[in-house]
């Protein structure tokens, strides 16, 4: 897939389907489920997403297709590791508070998705526990930010931290395609 799916196209597709979530939250939920240990070939994620964002109503086929693309792109980025994860956030031209709110939505979504797949936090490393505590703090940020360089820098540092922390969770708890193949052959 050459063209990366972006925040606006996913948010618009969600909006057209009257889904009560933006691309950031949906992507956060997906990342959280994957980073919390959901199998990469698990197809139940769409139902979980519909339960959590669409009052359990199934998505339209157009939105399902868009979400399928987003899921595939996310899995590819997580498997690549390092700095390949692109969080679904508005681009840098969007007002800073829109980007800040989207980051909060992403983090809240991540925590929701992660919690669905990882209840055994006692077995997580101190780094993962700390990251989740920080995510909890980030999810409660309410202060509007000024449109200035210091705020831009602060926001981009938080985004970078969230991205690295999500990858940390994935490297510790996420599954590889090899893990998936060892389970049992799936019937399609």
Contacts with 126 (C-beta within 8 Å, 6 or more apart), sequence order? none
Is residue 188 assigned to a domain? no
How far apart CA 34 and CA 109 sit, in angstroms, is: 12
pLDDT at 119 over 90: no
Q: What is the CATH number of the domain that holds 18?
A: 1.20.120.740
What count of other Cβ atoms lies within 10 Å of the Cβ of residue 81? 12
Could you give the number of structural domains in the chain? 1
pTM summary value: 0.91
CA nearest to 169, candidates 123, 131, 138, 116: 131
Tens of pLDDT, residues 20-47: 999 999 999 999 999 999 988 888 999 9
pLDDT at 1 over 60: no
Grade residue 2 by pLDDT with cuts at 50, 70 and 90.
very low
Is residue 165 assigned to a domain? yes
Is residue 19 assigned to a domain? yes
Is residue 2 assigned to a domain? no
Domain of residue 148: give its range. Answer: 7-183
């Amino acid at each position: 897939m050459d063209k990366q799916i972006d925040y606006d196209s996913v948010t618009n597709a969600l909006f057209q389907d009257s889904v009560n979530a933006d691309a950031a939250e949906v992507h956060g939920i997906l990342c959280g489920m994957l980073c919390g240990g959901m199998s990469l070939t698990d197809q139940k994620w769409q139902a979980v997403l519909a339960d959590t964002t669409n009052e359990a109503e199934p998505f339209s086929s157009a939105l399902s297709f868009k979400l399928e693309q987003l899921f595939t792109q996310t899995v590819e980025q997580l498997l690549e590791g390092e700095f390949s994860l692109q969080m679904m956030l508005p681009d840098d031209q969007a007002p800073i508070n829109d980007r800040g709110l989207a980051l909060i939505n992403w983090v809240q979504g991540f925590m929701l998705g992660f919690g669905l797949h990882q209840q055994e936090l006692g077995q997580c490393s101190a780094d993962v526990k700390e990251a989740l505590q920080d995510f909890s703090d980030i999810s409660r940020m309410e202060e509007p930010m000024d449109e200035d360089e210091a705020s831009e820098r602060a926001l981009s540092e938080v985004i970078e931290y969230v991205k690295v922390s999500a990858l940390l969770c994935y490297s510790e708890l996420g599954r590889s395609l090899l893990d998936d193949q060892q389970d049992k052959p799936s019937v399609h």
